[in-house]
Amino acid sequence: MIKKFIDKLIAGASGRKPRFGKRQEVGPDQHGIDPTLVDDRALSVVHALKEAGFEAYIVGGAVRDLLLGLRPKDFDVATNATPEEVKAQFRRAFIIGRRFRIVHVVFGRGREHEVIEVSTFRAYLEAAQAEAVNGNERTSKAELAGMHHAVDASGRVLRDNVWGPQEEDAARRDFTINAMYYDPETRIVVDYHGGIADAKKRLLRMIGDPPTRYREDPVRIIRAVRFAAKLAGLGFKFDPKTRTPLHPSLPLLAEVPQSRLFDEMLKLLQTGHSLATIEQLKHLGMASGIYPLLDLVVERAEQPFVRAALQDTDRRVNEDKPVAPSFLLACVLWADVRDGWAQRIAHKEHPFPALQNAIDEVFDARIGDISGRGRLGSDMREIWMMQPRFEKRSGHTPFSLAEQPRFRAGFDFMRLRADVGEVDVTLADWWQEFSQASDAVREDLVEALRDEMHRQRRTRAPRKRGEEGAAEAPEPRERTPRAAEGAAAPAEAGDGEAPRKRRRRRRKPAGQGAGAPSEGSGTGPAE
């Protein structure tokens, strides 16, 4: 009688028992994983936890990539140690998250640091509730007390910090190809749901009942699209039962916090497959309805400027170069800013405040309070506000602009505008040369431009009435850049013109100008 009651409780909304699967241990002769593809830091985390008496495995997408012969970009570790026990094993480890507590083990410092994410085996929620009825000792009193608040009326999981055995942890993961565990020391892959077979068949299949799993966490809808886009190039396709409920489940995303949807949108666009993701969304009939800003990206993906930005982002990610969401979003929303700016200038507003007001209007209309007022919004604003300054290349303006912290991103933005014909390409070329030059050569570039503008003004000057023809403008004196001769060539004797006085600046070695963009710097520095 008790067993029937527990089985009924476990069945949950789907009307079926959770599929814990049967444990299979697959050796290196069968799975063929190359151990040299495993990151040394992930290996050290696994080793330290096992030395302390815990189970520890590389898990998730890293195992999938290893099976496919790819070098994973990120490594996650799963263990039966609690977050507090994991933290105690490492000098630089931090517990993060509330709904889903994990540990970040940090290696290195600054921008070069690497993070290994360590999670504790989670219990399959309905199984944990059933075991609570039976008095399971593994689950704490606090966890038991909160279980009835862990799922809302629609079946969405609100909290997921109930620890359990590995078989339940595998059952609560989303796709079979992400539910495998690899021990890099014994080189054994533990597989409960046929992930190895699905990887060989190139099949993207949800564990358990797909509609129920999408209700548990609607973000799985977005993750399914992301994985499909990422793996499409390797021949992966959806299992029909996994694909069919995707579009009907879209309304579930209305219950997800906007900040989480914003983060998931950035993942879709910054994993190196943004164009493939957009095509996948269209193919699935999900081009709209996930998140308003993502809808706009899909809508504008065919515009030359936005498409160039998406292509550049994909290229940089695949070359292991940093990308910044502020740059990509600035490209997507530039048409709104540019048009609003033009309208204000047409109404006689001063250009500088007109641009500021246009930016504020775009933030209010397109981004709101999610991230538009934080650092991301600040960086976007700087990129946009730099654009008119690139037109001013006289006096001290070029020198001060090149020293701005976001100059690289602003320049790359202007370069993309030039690539699609919105800005004269000679302007982008001039700034490219200026940004990479020494201070002495920079001064020569600015002076040469001033001389050129002066000649153009003299050539265009109207002739005096009654003159039979104006004399041709004299040819400019030949100048030798300081970078080559150390000083400008002296004026010819008797030419009646004294050499111009130049400002003295602290010189920098050639090629180390402030803020110089690297070749093909694309999206600028990472956030």
SS3 category, 157: strand
Please give the pLDDT value at position 408: 93
Please give the pLDDT value at position 485: 39
Please give the pLDDT value at position 510: 46
H or E segment at 77?
strand 76-79
> Which residues does the annotation mark as catalytic?
74, 76, 174
CATH number of domain containing 334 = 1.10.3090.10
Same domain, 253 and 385: no
CA torsion 319→199→207→71, rounded to 10°?
-30
Q: Which of 285, 277, 299, 377 is nearest to 337 (CA)?
A: 377
Please give the pLDDT value at position 458: 79
Token pair recorded at residue 151: 């799922």
Three-class SS of 240-273: HHHHCCCHHHHHHHHHCCHHHHHHHHHHHHCCCC
Domain residues for 71? 19-121+165-206
Same domain, 377 and 348: yes
C-beta separation of 517 from 412 below 8 A:
yes
Q: How far apart are CA 163 and CA 143, in angstroms?
A: 9
Q: How far apart are CA 24 and CA 167, in angstroms?
A: 11
Q: Which of 153, 178, 206 is where one domain is finished?
A: 206
Given the DSSP bridges, would you call strands 188-191 and 180-183 parallel, antiparallel or unpaired?
antiparallel
Token pair recorded at residue 211: 């509609």
Task: Give me the phi and psi of 117, to 5 degrees please.
Answer: -90, 125
Same domain, 215 and 265: yes
Residue with tokens 């050569």: 441
Same domain, 297 and 341: no
Please give the pLDDT value at position 525: 40
In a domain, 8, yes or no: no
Please give the pLDDT value at position 196: 95
Strand runs labelled E in 268-355: none
Q: Which residues contact 59 (CB under 8 A, 6 or more apart)?
A: 76, 77, 78, 119, 180, 181, 182
In a domain, 145, yes or no: no
Q: Side chain identity at 166, as an amino acid letter?
A: Q
How many helices (H) and strands (E) the chain has is answered by: 24, 10
Q: Side chain identity at 280, as an amino acid letter?
A: Q
Please give the pLDDT value at position 129: 45
Q: How far apart are CA 413 and CA 310, in angstroms?
A: 12
Q: Which of 187, 246, 181 is nearest to 220 (CA)?
A: 246
Please give the pLDDT value at position 26: 95
CATH number of domain containing 102 = 3.30.460.10
Please give the pLDDT value at position 70: 92
Q: Side chain identity at 417, as an amino acid letter?
A: R
Helix axes 292-300, 274-283, angle to 10 degrees: 100
Strand runs labelled E in 60-162: 76-79, 93-96, 102-107, 114-120
C-beta separation of 411 from 417 below 8 A:
no
In a domain, 10, yes or no: no
Q: Which of 189, 148, 192 is nearest to 168 (CA)?
A: 192
Same domain, 322 and 354: yes
Please give the pLDDT value at position 454: 81
Same domain, 364 and 340: yes
Q: How far apart are CA 290 and CA 39, in angstroms?
A: 35
Q: Which of 302, 334, 366 is where one domain is finished?
A: 302
Q: How far apart are CA 168 and CA 122, in angstroms?
A: 7
Same domain, 221 and 356: no
Q: Which of 364, 402, 401, 359 is nearest to 381 (CA)?
A: 359
Q: Which of 192, 200, 201, 195 is nearest to 24 (CA)?
A: 192
SS3 category, 465: coil
Same domain, 55 and 181: yes
In a domain, 502, yes or no: no
C-beta separation of 408 from 514 below 8 A:
no
Please give the pLDDT value at position 395: 86
Same domain, 215 and 269: yes
Same domain, 277 and 373: no
Please give the pLDDT value at position 500: 47
Same domain, 51 and 87: yes
SS3 category, 275: helix
Instruction: Print pLDDT tens along the chain (527 aa).
Output: 444 444 444 444 444 444 678 899 999 999 999 999 999 999 999 999 999 999 999 999 999 999 999 999 899 999 999 999 999 999 999 999 877 889 999 998 876 789 999 999 998 765 444 444 344 444 444 444 344 335 555 445 555 568 999 999 999 899 999 999 999 999 999 999 999 999 999 999 999 999 999 998 999 999 999 999 999 989 999 999 999 999 999 999 999 998 889 999 999 999 899 999 999 999 999 999 999 999 999 999 999 999 999 999 999 999 988 899 999 999 999 999 999 999 999 999 999 999 999 999 999 888 876 654 578 889 999 999 999 999 999 888 899 999 998 999 999 999 999 999 999 999 999 999 999 999 899 998 998 888 888 887 777 666 555 544 444 444 444 443 333 333 333 333 334 444 444 444 544 544 444 444 444 444 544 44
In a domain, 468, yes or no: no
Three-class SS of 449-475: HHHHHHHHHHHHCCCCCCCCCCCCCCC
Q: How many domains does the chain have?
A: 3
Same domain, 270 and 188: no
